A and B are shown apart, each in its own frame.
Chain A
Amino acid sequence: MFVEESPDWNLDLGGSATCESCNEEPATVHLLRVVNGTVTHTHLCVHCAETVAAQTEGLAVVLAVPSVLWKTPEGKSGDQARAGLLGEQDLRFCSVCGTTLSDVKESGLVGCPHCYKAFSSYLEMVIGQGEQPREHVGKMPRRGSEVDSLKHEIMRLERMLKELVACERFEEAAGVRDRLAELGKRLASDTDL
């Protein structure tokens, strides 16, 4: 038997973004308490959650919070990041299925694979990729397109290049840069076809 969260949980932008106890820190955890058969839900920061959980006489369970609330970009508070997201132009829509950004924000669902291109900046934020999007990690389709494989490899090498430069391993970085240039040419010729 599987326990799934409520379907609207992951994109619950209407929920509390600041801790309901101290009203200062971003709410990073969801505390579920069962005391004498009564269930209560609160959004709290880690510090307050520890205090409240310790004081609870009964079952206290911490649930993961919407990633949009806890994976906020560095230097921004949860409130600022949320304001940025909500202030984004909601009139954008997907040209394939007609889903609007407002629909996505309201339901947490996108309509088709193309929506990922139409709403990419918003989705990067929601999924928590932040300012430095990285390539997919894990299993990949065996029948995937050549272009997708090239783009994936380019993203991987770009990330590697930044890491090598940061470590001042310039000789290896030059090799990666050359490989990137070569793949870039192949990608350009493949997409021209």
Chain B
Amino acid sequence: MIAALTASGITLVRNEAEHRFPHTEDALALEELREEILDVLTGGLWEENWRVLDPDELSEVELEYMVERGLMTPSFAEKGGGARALAIYGEGQASLEINGEDHFRLVAFRPGAQLESLWQLLSRLDDQLEVHFSYAFDPQFGYLTARPSRSGTGMRAYATLHVPALVLTGRLAQTALELVGNGLGLAPLWSGAGGLVQVSNSGTEGRAEEEAIHLMQELAESIVETERSVRKMLLRENTVQVKDHIGRAIGMAQHARTMCFGEAVNLISAIEVGRELGLAQVPGMESESAFELMTKLQPAHIMVEQLGERAGSLDSPEIDEFRAHLMRDKFAGAFVVD
């Protein structure tokens, strides 16, 4: 059985009513607001502790590591400017971007189908923040944000789907058109490697949060159902080619000496399809999901968790060599079932 959602993510944007949005607010007022927020995070009654980081003091690798883990959005990592802060909740269950494009952006990302639980967590954190801050709100436009196209609920949900067969057969475009018709968007994750895509809503589509999440889950399940039938069709009509593709992927994973991230994702994706179709046995994949393995193989993950500073930069060849080493270990006992 394939899980419909490979990974789930939610962001929730709010602004303090008495301040201008960060890009027009005075630096001093913004710094005072940041300190006020940090006082609430460190002094309030929270179920978990908040750990506060200054994004301007993080290295390029550390920033990328936060983005790869889904604790920071790419736009916050890229944006410069003072008076910002990143606060991490507990062990990374959620995080709070302070004074990015908006005063508050709560962020949460997790593998698996977790949209509802992530929403419940962020909504709870939102309620606790609101005890101390008045939010900018309008009866018509909803929660007010610096980017009007993100006003409304301020909530954006992201469903990551693994749909390599739809990509391979060119059916993804039709799927995307249906999503657009429902006010949702589709974008490739990791430049489309491995057939991973992310479906997201806009927040302005006039649906309550739970309704938007429910719709997204329904659509995601229908897309993954189509993916399943296309995989079966491919196997039925092109048995040898499908087995060949999976077998070659295992061979590459077991023997390559250097491997870029995109190639690793493509191979893991093919082997995972083989596993799900019952065509491949992969003892090393029983303890973690394919998505969790892919996540671990991202450049900053390898640098921070495995190599440390000795690798130098994120484009160091040593990272590709270590990734190939991890792949060889992981797929050592894998084989195609005849």
A residues contacting B by CB (< 8 A) are 1-5, 7, 10-11, 28-29, 31-32, 34, 46, 49-50, 53-54, 56, 59-67, 70, 96-99, 104, 108-113, 116, 123, 126-129, 133-144, 148-149, 151-152, 155
Contact = CB atoms under 8 A, between A and B. Distances in A.
Contacts, number: 197
Of the four ranges (under 10, 10 to 19, 20 to 34, 35 or more), the interface on chain B belongs to 35 or more
Given A10-B147, A60-B173, 16 more contacts: A7-B147, A31-B173, A59-B188, A61-B172, A61-B176, A62-B186, A64-B183, A64-B185, A123-B148, A127-B204, A136-B137, A138-B153, A139-B208, A143-B134, A148-B139, A151-B139
Given A112-B20, A141-B130, A61 B192 contact: yes
A141 B186 contact: no
B176 A11 contact: no
Interface in B108-136: 109, 123, 126-127, 130, 134-136
Nearest to B294: A1
Contacts of B48: none
A62 B72 CA distance: 25
Interface of B: 9, 11, 15, 17, 19-21, 23-24, 67-70, 73-75, 101, 107, 109, 123, 126-127, 130, 134-144, 146-153, 155, 158, 167, 170, 172-174, 176-177, 179-180, 183-192, 197-198, 200, 202, 204, 206-209, 295, 298
Given A63-B185, A141-B134, A133 B23 contact: no
A113 B204 contact: no
Contacts of B134: 141, 143
A116 B170 contact: no
26 contacts: A3-B200, A10-B149, A11-B149, A28-B180, A53-B174, A61-B172, A61-B186, A62-B172, A64-B179, A64-B183, A64-B186, A67-B202, A108-B148, A110-B21, A111-B20, A111-B24, A112-B19, A113-B138, A116-B144, A136-B138, A137-B153, A140-B137, A144-B135, A148-B139, A151-B139, A151-B140
Contacts of B107: 2
Contact of A29 (B109, B177, B202, B208): B177
